DNA sequence: GTTTTCATGTAACCCGTTACATGATTCA
DNA sequence: TGAATCATGTAACGGGTTACATGAAAAC
Protein backbone atom coordinates (compact mmCIF):
# COMPACT_ATOMS: atom_id res chain seq x y z
CA UNK A 1 0.00 0.00 0.00
CA UNK A 2 2.87 2.28 0.76
CA UNK A 3 4.52 2.90 -2.52
CA UNK A 4 3.36 6.24 -3.80
CA UNK A 5 5.51 9.11 -4.79
CA UNK A 6 5.92 10.46 -1.30
CA UNK A 7 8.30 13.22 -2.22
CA UNK A 8 6.25 15.74 -0.36
CA UNK A 9 5.89 13.52 2.66
CA UNK A 10 9.61 12.90 2.89
CA UNK A 11 10.40 16.56 2.43
CA UNK A 12 7.99 17.63 5.14
CA UNK A 13 9.22 15.09 7.63
CA UNK A 14 12.80 15.94 6.82
CA UNK A 15 12.27 19.62 7.38
CA UNK A 16 10.28 19.16 10.56
CA UNK A 17 13.03 16.96 11.95
CA UNK A 18 15.28 19.97 12.13
CA UNK A 19 12.76 22.27 13.70
CA UNK A 20 9.00 22.54 14.20
CA UNK A 21 7.38 24.82 11.67
CA UNK A 22 3.99 26.05 10.60
CA UNK A 23 2.64 25.51 7.12
CA UNK A 24 3.35 28.90 5.70
CA UNK A 25 7.00 28.84 6.71
CA UNK A 26 7.30 25.20 5.73
CA UNK A 27 6.28 26.05 2.20
CA UNK A 28 9.01 28.61 1.81
CA UNK A 29 11.68 26.17 2.90
CA UNK A 30 10.17 23.46 0.75
CA UNK A 31 10.47 25.64 -2.31
CA UNK A 32 14.19 25.91 -1.83
CA UNK A 33 14.57 22.20 -2.21
CA UNK A 34 11.66 20.62 -3.96
CA UNK A 35 12.14 21.11 -7.68
CA UNK A 36 14.65 23.81 -7.18
CA UNK A 37 12.80 27.02 -7.93
CA UNK A 38 9.15 26.26 -8.39
CA UNK A 39 6.44 27.16 -5.94
CA UNK A 40 4.51 24.44 -4.20
CA UNK A 41 0.91 25.45 -3.73
CA UNK A 42 -0.98 25.46 -0.46
CA UNK A 43 -3.51 23.31 -2.19
CA UNK A 44 -0.96 20.52 -1.96
CA UNK A 45 0.75 21.35 1.28
CA UNK A 46 -2.12 21.67 3.71
CA UNK A 47 -3.88 18.46 2.71
CA UNK A 48 -0.53 16.68 2.93
CA UNK A 49 -0.03 17.97 6.46
CA UNK A 50 -3.52 16.85 7.31
CA UNK A 51 -2.96 13.27 6.25
CA UNK A 52 0.37 13.18 8.04
CA UNK A 53 -1.46 14.22 11.20
CA UNK A 54 -4.13 11.58 10.82
CA UNK A 55 -1.40 9.02 10.24
CA UNK A 56 0.13 10.08 13.52
CA UNK A 57 3.49 11.07 12.08
CA UNK A 58 3.24 14.70 13.05
CA UNK A 59 1.19 16.73 15.48
CA UNK A 60 0.03 20.27 15.00
CA UNK A 61 -0.33 22.63 17.94
CA UNK A 62 -2.10 25.91 17.64
CA UNK A 63 0.03 28.66 19.07
CA UNK A 64 -0.74 32.32 18.94
CA UNK A 65 2.29 33.20 21.01
CA UNK A 66 5.91 32.22 20.59
CA UNK A 67 6.28 29.44 23.19
CA UNK A 68 9.75 30.07 24.57
CA UNK A 69 11.21 32.64 22.28
CA UNK A 70 13.24 35.20 24.13
CA UNK A 71 15.84 35.82 21.49
CA UNK A 72 14.22 37.70 18.66
CA UNK A 73 12.48 40.91 19.58
CA UNK A 74 9.41 42.52 18.08
CA UNK A 75 7.33 39.41 17.54
CA UNK A 76 4.66 39.49 20.14
CA UNK A 77 1.14 38.56 19.21
CA UNK A 78 1.34 36.92 15.82
CA UNK A 79 -1.74 35.51 14.30
CA UNK A 80 -2.69 32.06 15.52
CA UNK A 81 -0.84 29.49 13.50
CA UNK A 82 -0.38 25.77 13.66
CA UNK A 83 3.10 24.59 14.40
CA UNK A 84 3.81 21.03 13.35
CA UNK A 85 6.42 18.73 14.80
CA UNK A 86 7.37 15.10 14.47
CA UNK A 87 5.93 12.51 16.77
CA UNK A 88 7.99 9.56 17.92
CA UNK A 89 6.47 7.46 15.15
CA UNK A 90 7.21 10.27 12.74
CA UNK A 91 10.89 10.24 13.64
CA UNK A 92 11.03 6.52 13.33
CA UNK A 93 9.28 6.63 9.97
CA UNK A 94 11.69 9.26 8.72
CA UNK A 95 14.70 7.21 9.78
CA UNK A 96 13.20 4.30 7.92
CA UNK A 97 12.79 6.37 4.78
CA UNK A 98 16.27 7.81 5.04
CA UNK A 99 17.77 4.36 5.38
CA UNK A 100 16.39 3.29 2.02
CA UNK A 101 19.12 3.24 -0.58
CA UNK A 102 17.36 1.45 -3.41
CA UNK A 103 16.31 2.67 -6.85
CA UNK A 104 13.42 4.63 -5.37
CA UNK A 105 15.94 6.90 -3.71
CA UNK A 106 17.77 7.88 -6.89
CA UNK A 107 14.95 8.19 -9.35
CA UNK A 108 14.20 11.62 -10.76
CA UNK A 109 11.30 12.44 -8.50
CA UNK A 110 12.99 11.55 -5.24
CA UNK A 111 16.67 12.20 -5.70
CA UNK A 112 16.66 15.91 -4.99
CA UNK A 113 14.80 15.55 -1.73
CA UNK A 114 16.91 12.65 -0.61
CA UNK A 115 20.00 14.65 -1.44
CA UNK A 116 18.77 17.66 0.46
CA UNK A 117 18.38 15.40 3.48
CA UNK A 118 21.87 13.96 3.24
CA UNK A 119 22.72 15.80 6.42
CA UNK A 120 20.52 13.30 8.22
CA UNK A 121 21.81 10.30 6.25
CA UNK A 122 24.86 8.22 6.95
CA UNK A 123 27.82 8.09 4.61
CA UNK A 124 27.28 4.60 3.23
CA UNK A 125 23.70 5.36 2.29
CA UNK A 126 24.75 8.65 0.74
CA UNK A 127 27.33 6.87 -1.34
CA UNK A 128 24.98 4.16 -2.46
CA UNK A 129 22.42 6.72 -3.55
CA UNK A 130 24.93 8.86 -5.38
CA UNK A 131 26.37 5.85 -7.16
CA UNK A 132 22.92 4.53 -7.98
CA UNK A 133 21.99 7.84 -9.50
CA UNK A 134 25.20 7.95 -11.45
CA UNK A 135 24.57 4.55 -12.97
CA UNK A 136 21.01 5.51 -13.73
CA UNK A 137 22.06 8.60 -15.59
CA UNK A 138 24.80 6.91 -17.58
CA UNK A 139 22.40 4.18 -18.58
CA UNK A 140 19.98 6.77 -19.82
CA UNK A 141 22.77 8.61 -21.57
CA UNK A 142 23.74 5.43 -23.35
CA UNK A 143 20.18 4.67 -24.40
CA UNK A 144 19.60 8.15 -25.77
CA UNK A 145 22.91 8.24 -27.56
CA UNK A 146 22.13 4.96 -29.21
CA UNK A 147 18.62 5.84 -30.32
CA UNK A 148 19.89 9.22 -31.41
CA UNK A 149 22.57 7.91 -33.72
CA UNK A 150 20.01 5.67 -35.29
CA UNK A 151 17.57 8.45 -36.06
CA UNK A 152 20.01 11.29 -36.49
CA UNK A 153 19.37 11.40 -40.22
CA UNK A 154 15.68 12.14 -39.80
CA UNK A 155 16.36 14.94 -37.32
CA UNK A 156 16.54 18.53 -38.41
CA UNK A 157 19.21 20.74 -36.96
CA UNK A 158 17.15 22.24 -34.17
CA UNK A 159 15.83 18.95 -32.88
CA UNK A 160 19.37 17.71 -32.97
CA UNK A 161 20.69 20.73 -31.14
CA UNK A 162 18.06 20.29 -28.45
CA UNK A 163 19.03 16.67 -28.09
CA UNK A 164 22.71 17.54 -27.97
CA UNK A 165 22.18 20.13 -25.30
CA UNK A 166 20.08 17.76 -23.22
CA UNK A 167 22.79 15.15 -23.34
CA UNK A 168 25.36 17.72 -22.36
CA UNK A 169 23.37 18.72 -19.32
CA UNK A 170 23.08 15.13 -18.19
CA UNK A 171 26.77 14.57 -18.78
CA UNK A 172 27.49 17.52 -16.58
CA UNK A 173 25.22 16.08 -13.94
CA UNK A 174 27.23 12.88 -14.02
CA UNK A 175 30.44 14.81 -13.50
CA UNK A 176 28.82 16.63 -10.61
CA UNK A 177 27.97 13.30 -9.06
CA UNK A 178 31.54 12.14 -9.59
CA UNK A 179 32.77 15.05 -7.57
CA UNK A 180 30.32 14.37 -4.80
CA UNK A 181 31.18 10.69 -4.72
CA UNK A 182 34.90 11.24 -4.33
CA UNK A 183 34.17 13.86 -1.68
CA UNK A 184 32.08 11.36 0.25
CA UNK A 185 34.77 8.72 -0.06
CA UNK A 186 37.26 11.16 1.37
CA UNK A 187 34.91 11.85 4.19
CA UNK A 188 34.63 8.17 4.92
CA UNK A 189 38.41 7.84 4.90
CA UNK A 190 39.18 10.54 7.42
CA UNK A 191 35.96 10.80 9.36
CA UNK A 192 36.76 13.84 11.50
CA UNK A 193 37.02 16.28 8.68
CA UNK A 194 38.77 19.55 9.27
CA UNK A 195 38.27 20.95 5.81
CA UNK A 196 34.88 22.48 6.17
CA UNK A 197 34.02 25.18 3.70
CA UNK A 198 31.36 27.00 5.58
CA UNK A 199 30.02 26.95 9.10
CA UNK A 200 27.04 24.67 9.13
CA UNK A 201 25.39 26.61 11.92
CA UNK A 202 24.06 23.76 13.94
CA UNK A 203 21.34 24.93 16.17
CA UNK A 204 18.71 22.36 16.46
CA UNK A 205 16.85 23.36 19.49
CA UNK A 206 15.22 20.05 20.10
CA UNK A 207 16.70 17.84 22.73
CA UNK A 208 17.37 14.64 20.92
CA UNK A 209 20.22 12.25 21.02
CA UNK A 210 19.42 9.85 18.28
CA UNK A 211 21.91 11.07 15.74
CA UNK A 212 23.11 7.91 14.12
CA UNK A 213 26.80 7.16 13.87
CA UNK A 214 28.38 8.19 10.63
CA UNK A 215 25.67 10.73 10.17
CA UNK A 216 27.49 13.74 11.34
CA UNK A 217 30.26 15.66 9.80
CA UNK B 1 -11.76 28.16 -23.94
CA UNK B 2 -8.54 27.64 -25.80
CA UNK B 3 -5.80 28.31 -23.32
CA UNK B 4 -4.60 25.01 -22.03
CA UNK B 5 -1.11 23.70 -22.03
CA UNK B 6 -1.26 22.35 -25.55
CA UNK B 7 2.27 21.06 -25.65
CA UNK B 8 1.12 17.73 -26.94
CA UNK B 9 -1.15 19.29 -29.51
CA UNK B 10 1.60 21.51 -30.85
CA UNK B 11 4.05 18.65 -30.94
CA UNK B 12 1.68 16.39 -32.82
CA UNK B 13 0.75 19.01 -35.38
CA UNK B 14 4.39 19.92 -35.81
CA UNK B 15 5.43 16.37 -36.45
CA UNK B 16 2.56 15.62 -38.79
CA UNK B 17 3.40 18.70 -40.81
CA UNK B 18 6.59 17.02 -41.89
CA UNK B 19 5.03 13.70 -42.75
CA UNK B 20 1.87 11.72 -42.08
CA UNK B 21 2.36 9.16 -39.33
CA UNK B 22 0.43 6.62 -37.33
CA UNK B 23 0.16 6.80 -33.56
CA UNK B 24 2.74 4.22 -32.70
CA UNK B 25 5.43 5.82 -34.81
CA UNK B 26 4.35 9.28 -33.72
CA UNK B 27 5.01 8.37 -30.13
CA UNK B 28 8.55 7.36 -30.81
CA UNK B 29 9.33 10.64 -32.52
CA UNK B 30 7.52 12.55 -29.82
CA UNK B 31 9.75 11.02 -27.19
CA UNK B 32 12.83 12.41 -28.84
CA UNK B 33 11.56 15.91 -28.32
CA UNK B 34 8.98 16.13 -25.62
CA UNK B 35 10.85 16.17 -22.32
CA UNK B 36 13.97 14.84 -23.84
CA UNK B 37 14.11 11.22 -22.76
CA UNK B 38 10.86 10.30 -21.11
CA UNK B 39 8.20 8.09 -22.58
CA UNK B 40 4.83 9.51 -23.41
CA UNK B 41 2.11 6.98 -22.77
CA UNK B 42 -0.50 5.85 -25.24
CA UNK B 43 -3.02 6.78 -22.65
CA UNK B 44 -2.22 10.38 -23.48
CA UNK B 45 -1.44 10.13 -27.14
CA UNK B 46 -4.47 8.36 -28.55
CA UNK B 47 -7.06 10.51 -26.79
CA UNK B 48 -5.14 13.57 -27.95
CA UNK B 49 -5.27 12.35 -31.53
CA UNK B 50 -8.95 11.69 -31.12
CA UNK B 51 -9.77 15.22 -30.04
CA UNK B 52 -7.60 16.64 -32.80
CA UNK B 53 -9.65 14.64 -35.26
CA UNK B 54 -12.97 15.81 -33.84
CA UNK B 55 -11.67 19.37 -33.99
CA UNK B 56 -10.94 18.85 -37.63
CA UNK B 57 -7.25 19.60 -37.44
CA UNK B 58 -6.12 16.18 -38.55
CA UNK B 59 -7.66 13.24 -40.33
CA UNK B 60 -6.86 9.61 -39.79
CA UNK B 61 -7.03 7.10 -42.62
CA UNK B 62 -6.91 3.40 -42.03
CA UNK B 63 -4.35 1.76 -44.23
CA UNK B 64 -3.29 -1.83 -44.07
CA UNK B 65 -1.02 -1.54 -47.05
CA UNK B 66 1.71 0.92 -47.81
CA UNK B 67 -0.05 3.33 -50.21
CA UNK B 68 2.73 4.23 -52.60
CA UNK B 69 5.80 2.69 -51.10
CA UNK B 70 7.99 1.08 -53.67
CA UNK B 71 11.32 1.90 -52.15
CA UNK B 72 11.74 -0.16 -49.03
CA UNK B 73 11.42 -3.91 -49.47
CA UNK B 74 10.04 -6.52 -47.14
CA UNK B 75 7.08 -4.59 -45.76
CA UNK B 76 4.06 -6.08 -47.29
CA UNK B 77 0.97 -6.67 -45.21
CA UNK B 78 1.46 -4.73 -42.02
CA UNK B 79 -1.32 -4.67 -39.54
CA UNK B 80 -4.01 -2.12 -40.19
CA UNK B 81 -2.96 1.16 -38.74
CA UNK B 82 -4.30 4.66 -38.79
CA UNK B 83 -2.17 7.22 -40.51
CA UNK B 84 -2.86 10.78 -39.49
CA UNK B 85 -2.19 13.90 -41.51
CA UNK B 86 -2.95 17.57 -41.23
CA UNK B 87 -6.07 19.03 -42.75
CA UNK B 88 -6.06 22.50 -44.26
CA UNK B 89 -7.40 23.90 -41.01
CA UNK B 90 -4.74 21.95 -39.18
CA UNK B 91 -1.99 23.56 -41.20
CA UNK B 92 -3.47 26.96 -40.66
CA UNK B 93 -3.80 26.35 -36.95
CA UNK B 94 -0.21 25.22 -36.74
CA UNK B 95 1.02 28.32 -38.53
CA UNK B 96 -0.95 30.37 -36.09
CA UNK B 97 0.65 28.60 -33.13
CA UNK B 98 4.13 28.89 -34.60
CA UNK B 99 3.68 32.61 -35.12
CA UNK B 100 3.12 33.20 -31.42
CA UNK B 101 6.19 34.71 -29.84
CA UNK B 102 4.78 35.73 -26.46
CA UNK B 103 5.60 34.44 -22.98
CA UNK B 104 3.62 31.28 -23.60
CA UNK B 105 6.23 30.28 -26.16
CA UNK B 106 9.20 30.50 -23.82
CA UNK B 107 7.78 29.14 -20.61
CA UNK B 108 9.17 25.87 -19.32
CA UNK B 109 6.41 23.63 -20.60
CA UNK B 110 6.38 24.92 -24.14
CA UNK B 111 9.87 26.07 -24.93
CA UNK B 112 11.33 22.72 -25.89
CA UNK B 113 8.59 21.92 -28.34
CA UNK B 114 8.67 25.36 -29.84
CA UNK B 115 12.41 25.08 -30.20
CA UNK B 116 12.16 21.69 -31.85
CA UNK B 117 9.83 23.26 -34.39
CA UNK B 118 12.16 26.17 -35.15
CA UNK B 119 12.71 24.66 -38.56
CA UNK B 120 9.16 25.75 -39.39
CA UNK B 121 9.49 29.13 -37.70
CA UNK B 122 10.85 32.34 -39.16
CA UNK B 123 14.01 33.98 -37.88
CA UNK B 124 12.42 36.94 -36.11
CA UNK B 125 10.07 34.70 -34.16
CA UNK B 126 12.93 32.40 -33.28
CA UNK B 127 14.94 35.32 -32.00
CA UNK B 128 12.10 36.73 -29.97
CA UNK B 129 11.48 33.37 -28.34
CA UNK B 130 15.13 32.78 -27.56
CA UNK B 131 15.51 36.23 -26.10
CA UNK B 132 12.31 35.92 -24.14
CA UNK B 133 13.52 32.68 -22.67
CA UNK B 134 16.86 34.18 -21.86
CA UNK B 135 15.28 37.04 -19.96
CA UNK B 136 12.97 34.63 -18.18
CA UNK B 137 15.85 32.51 -17.00
CA UNK B 138 17.99 35.42 -15.86
CA UNK B 139 15.06 36.83 -13.93
CA UNK B 140 14.64 33.52 -12.20
CA UNK B 141 18.34 33.31 -11.55
CA UNK B 142 18.24 36.70 -9.94
CA UNK B 143 15.27 35.82 -7.77
CA UNK B 144 16.82 32.59 -6.57
CA UNK B 145 20.19 34.18 -5.92
CA UNK B 146 18.54 36.84 -3.84
CA UNK B 147 16.38 34.53 -1.77
CA UNK B 148 19.34 32.22 -1.41
CA UNK B 149 21.68 34.79 0.04
CA UNK B 150 19.02 35.73 2.52
CA UNK B 151 18.54 32.20 3.81
CA UNK B 152 21.99 30.86 3.20
CA UNK B 153 22.72 30.74 6.93
CA UNK B 154 19.88 28.37 7.62
CA UNK B 155 20.93 25.99 4.83
CA UNK B 156 23.06 22.97 5.54
CA UNK B 157 25.84 22.13 3.14
CA UNK B 158 23.90 19.62 1.05
CA UNK B 159 20.91 21.85 0.51
CA UNK B 160 23.32 24.57 -0.43
CA UNK B 161 25.19 22.34 -2.84
CA UNK B 162 21.95 21.33 -4.51
CA UNK B 163 20.99 24.96 -4.87
CA UNK B 164 24.41 25.86 -6.21
CA UNK B 165 24.31 23.12 -8.79
CA UNK B 166 20.82 24.10 -9.88
CA UNK B 167 21.91 27.66 -10.42
CA UNK B 168 24.91 26.48 -12.36
CA UNK B 169 22.75 24.45 -14.70
CA UNK B 170 20.51 27.41 -15.38
CA UNK B 171 23.54 29.63 -15.95
CA UNK B 172 24.76 27.16 -18.48
CA UNK B 173 21.38 27.19 -20.15
CA UNK B 174 21.61 30.96 -20.46
CA UNK B 175 24.99 30.68 -22.11
CA UNK B 176 23.56 28.09 -24.46
CA UNK B 177 20.84 30.55 -25.41
CA UNK B 178 23.44 33.24 -25.94
CA UNK B 179 25.16 31.05 -28.48
CA UNK B 180 21.91 30.32 -30.25
CA UNK B 181 20.93 33.97 -30.31
CA UNK B 182 24.15 35.15 -31.90
CA UNK B 183 23.91 32.28 -34.37
CA UNK B 184 20.42 33.39 -35.34
CA UNK B 185 21.54 36.99 -35.68
CA UNK B 186 24.29 35.85 -38.01
CA UNK B 187 21.75 33.93 -39.97
CA UNK B 188 19.59 37.02 -40.27
CA UNK B 189 22.57 39.03 -41.43
CA UNK B 190 23.64 36.73 -44.25
CA UNK B 191 20.42 34.91 -44.98
CA UNK B 192 21.68 32.46 -47.59
CA UNK B 193 24.39 30.88 -45.56
CA UNK B 194 26.55 27.94 -46.44
CA UNK B 195 24.57 24.78 -46.24
CA UNK B 196 26.19 22.62 -43.66
CA UNK B 197 26.38 24.50 -40.39
CA UNK B 198 24.66 23.74 -37.11
CA UNK B 199 22.79 26.42 -35.21
CA UNK B 200 25.71 26.66 -32.85
CA UNK B 201 28.93 26.07 -34.61
CA UNK B 202 31.03 27.76 -32.00
CA UNK B 203 31.20 26.19 -28.63
CA UNK B 204 33.21 28.54 -26.55
CA UNK B 205 34.97 26.45 -23.99
CA UNK B 206 35.63 29.27 -21.60
CA UNK B 207 33.29 29.68 -18.74
CA UNK B 208 33.49 33.36 -19.30
CA UNK B 209 32.37 36.26 -17.53
CA UNK B 210 28.94 37.34 -16.77
CA UNK B 211 29.32 36.43 -13.16
CA UNK B 212 27.49 39.12 -11.39
CA UNK B 213 29.12 40.81 -8.42
CA UNK B 214 27.77 40.44 -4.96
CA UNK B 215 26.36 37.05 -5.59
CA UNK B 216 28.28 34.97 -3.19
CA UNK B 217 31.10 34.28 -0.90
C1' DG C 1 -7.36 53.63 5.64
C1' DT C 2 -5.92 50.75 2.36
C1' DT C 3 -2.66 47.59 0.64
C1' DT C 4 0.67 43.93 1.55
C1' DT C 5 2.07 40.06 3.91
C1' DC C 6 0.90 36.39 6.95
C1' DA C 7 -1.90 32.34 7.58
C1' DT C 8 -5.17 28.43 6.69
C1' DG C 9 -7.99 25.87 4.15
C1' DT C 10 -11.43 23.63 0.23
C1' DA C 11 -13.29 22.36 -4.44
C1' DA C 12 -12.75 22.02 -9.09
C1' DC C 13 -10.01 20.89 -12.52
C1' DC C 14 -5.90 19.42 -15.62
C1' DC C 15 -2.72 16.69 -17.50
C1' DG C 16 -0.71 12.94 -17.28
C1' DT C 17 0.39 7.71 -15.99
C1' DT C 18 -0.83 2.78 -14.87
C1' DA C 19 -3.34 -0.95 -15.63
C1' DC C 20 -6.28 -3.20 -18.44
C1' DA C 21 -8.21 -5.16 -22.86
C1' DT C 22 -7.38 -6.78 -27.57
C1' DG C 23 -5.30 -8.64 -31.37
C1' DA C 24 -2.16 -9.22 -35.42
C1' DT C 25 2.71 -10.10 -36.96
C1' DT C 26 7.41 -11.27 -36.70
C1' DC C 27 11.15 -13.71 -34.72
C1' DA C 28 13.49 -17.31 -32.03
C1' DT D 1 4.90 -22.76 -30.39
C1' DG D 2 5.68 -19.13 -27.70
C1' DA D 3 7.74 -14.56 -26.90
C1' DA D 4 8.54 -9.92 -28.50
C1' DT D 5 7.06 -6.14 -31.10
C1' DC D 6 3.58 -3.66 -33.55
C1' DA D 7 -0.73 -1.37 -33.04
C1' DT D 8 -4.90 0.76 -30.90
C1' DG D 9 -7.66 2.00 -27.42
C1' DT D 10 -10.32 2.80 -22.46
C1' DA D 11 -11.02 3.46 -17.29
C1' DA D 12 -9.25 4.43 -13.07
C1' DC D 13 -6.36 6.86 -10.53
C1' DG D 14 -2.72 10.26 -8.92
C1' DG D 15 -0.51 14.22 -7.77
C1' DG D 16 -0.38 18.43 -8.62
C1' DT D 17 -2.33 23.60 -9.71
C1' DT D 18 -5.90 27.38 -9.87
C1' DA D 19 -9.39 29.63 -8.06
C1' DC D 20 -11.98 30.54 -4.32
C1' DA D 21 -13.08 31.76 0.65
C1' DT D 22 -11.61 33.87 4.96
C1' DG D 23 -9.46 36.76 8.06
C1' DA D 24 -5.92 38.94 11.08
C1' DA D 25 -1.68 41.83 11.48
C1' DA D 26 1.80 44.89 9.57
C1' DA D 27 3.32 48.41 6.68
C1' DC D 28 2.58 52.49 4.16
Task: Give tens-digit pLDDT for A51-78.
Answer: 999 999 999 999 765 443 333 333 344 5
Give the CA A44 to C1' D16 distance in Å. Answer: 7
Nearest residue by alpha-carbon distance to C1' of C5: A24
Assess whether pLDDT exceeds 60 at residue A113: yes
10 Å Cβ neighbour count for A158?
21
Distance from the B211 Cα atom to the nearest Cα atom in chain A, whole angstroms: 19
Distance, CA of A207 to chain centre: 23
CB-CB contact of B83 with B63 (8 Å): yes
Assess whether pLDDT exceeds 70 at residue A205: no
Give the CA B93 to C1' C19 distance in Å. Answer: 35
Query: Which residues numbered 47-76 in chain A sit less than 7 A from strand D, measured from CB?
Result: 48, 75-76
Query: In this predicted structure, what is the pLDDT of residue B164?
Result: 93
- When mean pLDDT is compared over A202-206, A210-214, B160-164, the highest value belongs to B160-164
Given CB atoms, is B120 within the 8 Å cutoff of chain A? no
B157 vs A151, A165, A200: nearest CB? A200
Given CB atoms, is B159 within the 8 Å cutoff of chain A? yes
Strand C contact at CB of residue A193, distance < 7 A: no
Q: What is the DSSP letter of A153?
A: G
Given CB atoms, is A39 within the 8 Å cutoff of chain B? no
Q: Looking at chain A, how many residues does it have?
A: 217
How many beta-carbon pairs below 8 A join chains A and B? Answer: 81
Q: Maximum CA pair distance of chain A?
A: 69
Assess whether pLDDT exceeds 90 at residue B9: yes
Using CA atoms, how far apart are residues B21 and B81, in angstroms rounded to an integer? Answer: 10
Residues A1-21 pLDDT 10s: 444 569 999 999 999 999 999
- Please give the CATH topology (third level) of the domain spanning B4-68+80-98: Arc Repressor Mutant, subunit A (1.10.10)
Choosing among B145, B157, B196, B217, which should be mutated to test the A contact, i.e. which has the most A CBs within 10 A?
B157
Query: In this predicted structure, what is the pLDDT of residue A145?
Result: 87
Domain limits of chain A? 4-68+80-98, 108-215
Distance from the B116 Cα atom to the nearest Cα atom in chain A, whole angstroms: 5
Using an 8 Å CB-CB cutoff, list chain B residues near A125.
none
Helix, strand or coil, per DSSP, at residue A10: helix
Helix, strand or coil, per DSSP, at residue B147: helix
Choosing among A136, A147, A156, A161, which should be mutated to test the B contact, i.e. which has the most B CBs within 10 A?
A161
Given CB atoms, is B200 within the 8 Å cutoff of chain A? yes
**Average pLDDT over chain B, rounded to an integer:** 81
**Average pLDDT over chain A, rounded to an integer:** 81
Query: In this predicted structure, what is the pLDDT of residue B74?
Result: 37
Give the CA B139 to C1' C9 distance in Å. Answer: 31
Give the CA A136 to C1' C17 distance in Å. Answer: 21
Using CA atoms, how far apart are residues A111 and A41, in angstroms rounded to an integer? Answer: 21
Assess whether pLDDT exceeds 60 at residue A207: no
Residues B159-186 pLDDT 10s: 999 999 999 999 999 999 999 999 999 9
CB-CB contact of B2 with B29 (8 Å): no
Give strand C nucleotides closer than 7 A to any protein Cβ. 6-12, 14-19, 23-26
CB-CB contact of B59 with B53 (8 Å): yes
Choosing among B145, B148, B161, which should be mutated to test the A contact, i.e. which has the most A CBs within 10 A?
B161
**Nearest Cα residue in chain A from B121:** A158
Query: Residue A163 — pLDDT band, cuts 50, 70, 90?
Result: very high
Query: Which residues numbered 116-175 in chain B sit less than 7 A from strand C, measured from CB?
Result: none
Query: In this predicted structure, what is the pLDDT of residue B79?
Result: 60
Amino acid sequence: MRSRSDVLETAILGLLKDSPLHGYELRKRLNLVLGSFRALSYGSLYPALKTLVTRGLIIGTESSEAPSAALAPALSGRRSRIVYELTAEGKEHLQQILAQAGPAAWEDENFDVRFALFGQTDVETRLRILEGRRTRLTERLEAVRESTTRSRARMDEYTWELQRHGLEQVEREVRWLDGLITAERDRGARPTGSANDHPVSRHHTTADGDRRPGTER
